[in-house]
A and B are shown apart, each in its own frame.
Chain A
Amino acid sequence: MNSKYTLLVCDGASCKTTHKANLAAGFKKVIAEKKLGEFVSVVKTGCFGICGQGPIVKVLPDDLLYVSVKQTDIEEIVEEHIKNGNVVKRLLYTDPFTQEPVEKQKGKKIYQKQFRIALRNCGLINPEDITEYIAVRGYEALASVLADKTPIEVVELMKKSKLRGRGGGGFPTGLKWEFTAKQPGNEKYVICNADEGDPGAFMDRSVLEGDPHSVLEAMAIAGYAIGASQGYIYVRAEYPLAIHRLNIAMEQAREYGFLGKNIFSSGFDFDIDIRLGAGAFVCGEETALIHSMEGQRGEPTKKPPFPSVSGFRKKPTSVNNVETFANIPAIVLNGADWFASIGTENSKGTKVFALAGKINNIGLVEVPMGTTLREIIYDIGGGMVNNKEFKAVQSGGPSGGVIPKEHLDTPIDYESLKQIGSMMGSGGLIVLDEDDDIVQLAKFYLDFTQDESCGKCTPCRIGTKRMYEILDRLTKLEGSPDDLDILEDLAVNIKNSALCGLGQSAPNPVLSTMEYFKDEYEAYAYRKVKHTYSIITDKCIGCTKCARVCPVECISGSVKVPHVIDESLCIACGACYTACPVNAIEKP
């Protein structure tokens, strides 16, 4: 019998929903039945980041990952691995490049280029147990700050680390704290922006679910630095698991005296409360978020005054994002110089990205700033699904843009992404392949922004609606070449005149796609887009496979004679394209 094992069962949102029934409980039951309780413990943890292969179970000390684990696999894992010490090979993670099963987590290419600061504890500790967080030096940063540093020294430390806001804007966190700290008065607030409304982004969700204490600890540090005794977490109502874990974490932190009155006998008081969002994308904008917290419609207001001067309840307020907070305890423990040594000249540290779309390893990755997109997509992301051709990656959500193939080798940081017409945004990366229609994608984003526009300023309220209508016209082949000029003109005007960040960045998806994929817009404008599939006669071998899969039976032809698609009936489902063994079908 082997020495003591620990089974880390991923309990992140994605794995949890694929479990259906509770895997951790299943393991505990089987282990109890086999009377192996003293040799193995089962721990529920946060996200491992390879959500596409979930549910994930990690075995320690072997440093080995089992993927796609089902209830029916539990018996085998316990019997073979725990009892007999044999690896269950069929459940091991398979390297998408070598097609070989990988035994060690560290040996995985997906983890080799990653560097985890914000996600340092995700997947390693039980987020519902404060003692596990304490065991990884949790709350030590808060204790050391309260004991050894003045609030001004904490602000200086943050400035020196050059940490920038991870919510998208990239404003230096230390400066934000300094402005808030310098305001007169003793009623100030710390707000954690957990309104992750960017579609395709789930970084903040994973941090809150996997390591909630790191956010609470950082909020208390922020409170000490700026002179606030109350913090609020504004979180989406769509994230029930994150809310649940935060509530547990806050309760435990209060029990241990890490929140509440006279923390670590320093005389510093700080507590945190949760405020729920209600589904409005614009509330990610800090002034809108504050209005929403006050029970109002979440409409932004003009800056200045900045929240650091007049924010929540008209008091000085520092609003920081979840991922920003998650970096802070690590910066305090390891020093500003350590943090500033990672990354590029103007963007320090790491960034968490949520990889989604047509990519093999869907999930969360954290890489040093300056890593190229090619490394993220091919080395960490495992490349394209079905080896399709890479077309572009969309970053920054509805406020960002697409990055085409020619910019794959751009080192990512705040400035470089802006230069190529996109933005860091919160970190969602949606990978597109050759099948994706860029104009339709732009229309999708405009549909989103015109729907989410709060309606306060005219450029955004009416302008985005008009942009959407033009795109709709184009994609229905009812547009004209003039529409392209109007579209671009509108886009530039909205960008220059909208009130808040949402409106100013709303045209980005259109502007960036127009820059890189003008030909696709022109194809729609000149009505040259073909909406149906067709068969290349020279290539067709008459195998009949396409005709058999066609759901509307619009393909005709005899065996060994080239087939024909009746384009008036074709619904462009693509079934024939997939079925054809000799690539004789042409896409729309």
Chain B
Amino acid sequence: MEKVNLDLKDLDLEKLAELDQYILTLDDPVERLINVLHRAQDIFGYLPPNLQLYIARKLNISAAKVNGVVSFYSYFTEEKTGKYVVSVCMGTACYVKGAEKVLKRVLKELCVEKNEVTKDGLFSVKDVRCVGACSLAPILTIGETVFGHMTEEKVPGVLNKFRGEINED
């Protein structure tokens, strides 16, 4: 079995302090577990096992409960993501307008599977549920930027924009 890292010492102290600060503002952090996890994911980018354990101990609940919640909701991720997360909308409106082809092309361009990070660490790809921007279907989002009316042909150009940003740095 793959070894699970439960070592709390591997967690960034500054980030933990920020999370602690947030938890202090809550009246009932156990009931607000989902909000705590949202904040933790904002700060750390993802929710690795050792972070889940930290939260469980902090809130005085079982790690199994935290993991149960994390694994239940698709918004939470236990895996490290790329610097840019490419989310291809697979809602119905996007689907009937060819979202599947767009997703395939993105995966092909980046040579990855879904939820896998590219070798350079820049991108990871996931399919998401409807983001409610159906009038722009099919869409993909990278970070907070939305790209509407996508076609297979537009995929390389869109990705290059983000690769370009890195080169300029």
Contacts and interface: CB of A to CB of B under 8 A. Distances in A.
B72 A280 contact: yes
B142 interface: no
A14 B135 contact: yes
B62 to A, nearest CB: 13
A430 B93 contact: yes
Interface centre among A17, A281, A293, A298 (most CB of B within 10 A): A17
A298 B69 CA distance: 8
B6 to A, nearest CB: 22
Contact of B137 (A279, A294, A356, A428): A356
25 contacts: A14-B134, A14-B135, A17-B133, A17-B148, A52-B135, A199-B90, A199-B91, A200-B91, A202-B133, A275-B35, A276-B35, A277-B73, A278-B34, A279-B76, A295-B34, A297-B68, A297-B69, A356-B93, A358-B96, A362-B135, A363-B135, A397-B92, A436-B96, A444-B92, A454-B72
A54 interface: yes
A298 B72 contact: yes
B75 A201 contact: no
Nearest to A451: B74
Interface string B8-51: 00000000000000000000001111110110000000000000
B131 interface: yes
Given A199-B91, A201-B130, A275-B34, A280 B73 contact: yes
Given A199-B92, A278-B75, A430-B92, A296 B132 contact: no
A432 B128 CA distance: 22
A428 B74 CA distance: 22
A26 to B, nearest CB: 19
Contacts of A293: 31
Contacts of A277: 34, 73, 75
Interface string A556-567: 000000000000
Contact of B34 (A196, A202, A276): A276
A530 B103 CA distance: 24
A295 B33 contact: yes
A197 interface: yes
Interface string A281-319: 100000000001111111000000000000000000000
Given A199-B91, A444-B92, A280 B134 contact: no
Q: What are the 4 A-B residue pairs with the smallest beta carbon separation, nearest first? A: A51-B135, A278-B73, A199-B91, A295-B33
Contacts of B74: 278-280
Contacts of A294: 31
B84 interface: no
Contact of B132 (A13, A279, A298, A358): A13
Contacts, number: 118
A356 B135 contact: yes
A177 B89 CA distance: 37
B54 interface: no
A17 B34 CA distance: 28
B72 A295 contact: no
A438 to B, nearest CB: 11
A525 interface: no
Q: How large is the interface on B (under 10, 10 to 19, 20 to 34, 35 or more residues)?
A: 20 to 34
A198 interface: yes
Given A54-B135, A238-B132, A362-B134, A298 B73 contact: yes
Interface of A: 13-14, 17-18, 51-52, 54, 196-202, 205, 237-239, 275-281, 292-298, 354, 356-358, 362-363, 394, 397, 428, 430, 432, 436, 441, 444-445, 448, 454
B30 A199 contact: no
Contacts of B136: 14, 17-18, 51
Contacts of A280: 72-74
Contacts of B33: 295
Given A362-B134, A394-B92, A454-B72, A295 B129 contact: no
A463 to B, nearest CB: 20
Contact of B37 (A13, A17, A278, A298): A278
B152 to A, nearest CB: 9
Interface string B58-90: 000000000011001111100000000000001
A237 B75 contact: yes
Nearest to B100: A444
B96 A14 contact: no
A398 to B, nearest CB: 8
Nearest to B41: A278
A110 to B, nearest CB: 14
Nearest to B93: A356
Nearest to A432: B96
A445 to B, nearest CB: 8
Given A296-B69, A432-B96, A279 B129 contact: yes
A475 to B, nearest CB: 13
Interface in B117-169: 128-137, 146, 148
Q: Which of B72, B76, B130 has the most CB of A within 10 A?
A: B130
Given A197-B129, A279-B129, A356 B134 contact: yes
Contact of A281 (B128, B129, B137): B129
A200 B134 contact: yes
A17 B141 CA distance: 10
A436 B146 CA distance: 26
A17 B93 contact: no
B91 A278 contact: no
A289 to B, nearest CB: 12
